[in-house]
A = this chain, B = another copy of it.
């Protein structure tokens, strides 16, 4: 049925080794032969079998990437950055969506391991470190993205979430708000915990300021809407006067829910700031203040580190890259329209 190197070799009247060389080391083959083999390939419609190639090579030319939510533009951009860098080196990126579920995360890691991927990028949920240790022990390096590690055994590329949380809360305080709320979850996500910690630090510095913590089950528009409904249904006096949402999806959901029936005005009654600065934040009902992260750069850099580690092997020095977040002020916290 399918055409293989042997068929090509026969038609071009050369050996299989030569066909292989034409595809992988054309400089080792005379130009005339190259041409003849390529003609044969074309006329037979030969497509090389990657499985056989991989089997021999011992590992694939793919990288695995596990994200928390593929529908979140932040991760879409991160993935794009990763893909770009990978493609420059001839690698492919397989994207798996954990949906913040440990079992799905595990499933993709298993899959990637069976595929003998060159390495794994992961935005981990909960404590995936033991599993990653296992991978590493079997020769598959891993880099954590969007999440720092104290663990010296792994490289990571992330943004200083504590600093970002501080920036956000400090900004809310600077515009005179005192009864802040933090909306986010799950608390299994380090990003969320760190952003909250930063916010708490900022609040502690200002006398009379408080920070209520409203935990959500995920970082989605839906979860934001639910939290927003709860807040809207409170007596006006019990509502916070500012909300820091752990990401922009939550913030968008909050925004929709709060403004329903014109119950709450943003930023009048409640100032709102998100996190990630996704493209849609600027186009929101009330353009959303946010904390910008270099999403594409994170992916790009992570692949860089991963490939270096795969190359250098055991004597690779793990690196913890930490980018700094940036405050973007828009109308949702009283900034002028852009």
Residue positions of A touching B, CB distance < 8 A: 1-2, 45, 47-52, 54-55, 58, 60, 70-71, 73, 76-77, 79-80, 83, 92, 94-95, 97, 110-111, 113-116, 134, 137-139, 221, 252-253, 255-256, 260, 279-280, 282-287, 338
Contact = CB atoms under 8 A, between A and B. Distances in A.
Q: Which DSSP category, helix, strand, loop or mixed, fits chain A's interface?
A: helix
A246 B94 CA distance: 30
Given A1-B139, A280-B283, 19 more contacts: A45-B137, A50-B51, A50-B116, A51-B51, A51-B52, A51-B55, A70-B76, A71-B80, A94-B94, A221-B279, A252-B280, A252-B283, A255-B283, A256-B282, A256-B283, A260-B338, A280-B280, A283-B284, A285-B285
Given A58-B2, A80-B70, A138 B47 contact: yes
Given A70-B76, A284-B285, A95 B95 contact: yes
17 contacts: A2-B139, A45-B138, A47-B110, A47-B114, A47-B138, A50-B114, A51-B55, A55-B55, A70-B76, A71-B73, A71-B77, A92-B111, A94-B94, A260-B338, A280-B280, A284-B285, A285-B287
Given A70-B80, A76-B70, A79-B70, A134 B45 contact: yes
Contacts of A54: 51
Given A45-B134, A71-B73, A55 B52 contact: yes
A92 B113 CA distance: 14
Nearest to A49: B116
A325 to B, nearest CB: 21
A8 B160 CA distance: 45
Contacts of A48: 114
Contacts of A115: 50-51
B97 A80 contact: yes
A294 to B, nearest CB: 16
Nearest to A249: B279
Contacts of A114: 47-50
